[in-house]
Amino acid sequence: MLRKIVLISLLISSVGHAQQIAGSKHDFSVGSGRIEIAGEFEICVFCHTPHHATLEAAPLWDHETTVANFEIYTSPTLDADDIGQPSGISKLCLSCHDGSVAVDSYGGNTGYLKVNSAATKIGTDLSNNHPISFLYDTSLADADGFLEDPDANWTVSDLLFENKVECPSCHDVHNNAPIPFNFKLLRLSNDDSALCLTCHIK
Ligand code: HEC
Ligand code: HEC
Ligand code: HEC
Ligand code: HEC
């Protein structure tokens, strides 16, 4: 319960930043000029609700969760050995971006507006995407030899969710960074591949 109250107050205290979702790629309200959900004038509601939320990895979640079976990333040089089905927040991103659940399936309603553009639909085959939903710790860094140690590097540990690499390690849906940092909603600029080089020593 205490956790819920903290989360509700977090949610309320962020409303001051509302313009950062408003007009962003994740604003689906009437007048946004992209996927517009008829009759919807709120902007947090596609993903969060103050009440009756689903207990998911992101706070006060209110969007239907995908049940798709995903093909996962594999490679002979990969050291991480715990890559399974997407979990945590990544699964929530994929609940729109795999194209199986409608963007307007929130608040208990089943919608019909699905992500279908070639660019933004990640789909269910993740074998050609950067690996996600795996533990990134000192022993992985040691095993790989060319990764920053997250325990010794706060910039890296700040990008992890429950010590894992997830979609939001690289993207911020709330798009609260100024241009040019909001290119593709990236958390850090990727000029000169800076985002990649935050974790990879190459
Ligand atoms: C498209 C989905 C989406 C929309 C729309 C959205 N959020 Fe979020 N929100 C997320 C996800 C995913 C996370 C967890 C990942 C993260 O923290 O970046 C999150 C995390 C949060 C958190 C906790 C972490 C933090 O950043 O403090 C708060 C508070 C929050 N959202 C508030 C809001 C508010 C307020 C709005 C509307 C102005 C909003 N969100 C709109 C998806 C969304
Ligand atoms: C409620 C559905 C929904 C959720 C949840 C959601 N997205 Fe999206 N996202 C969309 C849609 C729809 C678009 C395309 C909007 C457009 O092109 O008009 C989009 C666009 C994007 C883009 C492209 C931005 C650009 O500049 O082209 C990125 C990156 C992205 N989302 C990442 C994420 C990540 C990461 C998460 C989870 C943390 C997430 N999304 C959660 C629906 C969602
Ligand atoms: C390791 C970092 C990283 C991770 C993890 C990551 N992305 Fe991305 N993503 C990027 C970068 C960088 C781009 C921009 C590519 C470009 O156009 O240069 C991008 C682009 C995108 C786009 C826009 C595609 C386009 O062409 O407009 C979407 C949508 C997206 N990512 C969603 C996701 C989702 C959903 C996840 C989790 C399943 C995810 N990303 C995980 C780094 C990442
Ligand atoms: C948050 C940290 C982080 C960021 C940012 C990041 N990566 Fe990674 N990446 C990892 C980790 C950890 C692995 C797993 C390495 C392993 O297990 O061998 C990985 C795996 C990979 C692999 C697969 C390696 C293999 O052996 O199959 C490639 C390629 C890669 N990343 C490229 C990139 C690129 C390109 C970017 C920038 C767009 C990027 N990464 C951004 C942490 C990150």
pLDDT digits over 120-179, tens only? 999 999 999 999 999 999 999 999 999 999 999 999 999 999 999 999 999 999 876 666
- Token pair for 50: 């103050």
Condensed to tens digits (0 to 9), the pLDDT of residues 156-172 reads 999 999 999 999 999 99
Q: Which residue's CA is the closest to the ligand 2 atom numbered 16? A: 25
Q: Are 126 and 120 in contact (CB under 8 A)?
A: no
Q: Give distance in angstroms: CA of 173 to centre of ligand 1.
A: 7
The SS3 call for residue 157 is helix
Ligand nearest to the CA of 129: 3
pLDDT on residue 36:
87
- Token pair for 10: 């977090």
Q: What secondary structure letter does DSSP report for 131?
A: -
Does ligand 1 have an atom closer than 6 angstroms to the CB of 14?
yes
Rounded to whole angstroms, the Cα distance separating 104 from 69 reads 21
In which band, very low, low, confident or very high, does the pLDDT at 189 lie, cut at 50, 70 and 90?
A: confident
Q: Residue 4: pLDDT above 50?
A: no
Does ligand 1 have an atom closer than 6 angstroms to the CB of 58?
yes
Rounded to whole angstroms, the Cα distance separating 144 from 62 reads 38
The mean pLDDT of the chain is 87
Rounded to whole angstroms, the Cα distance separating 1 from 19 reads 29
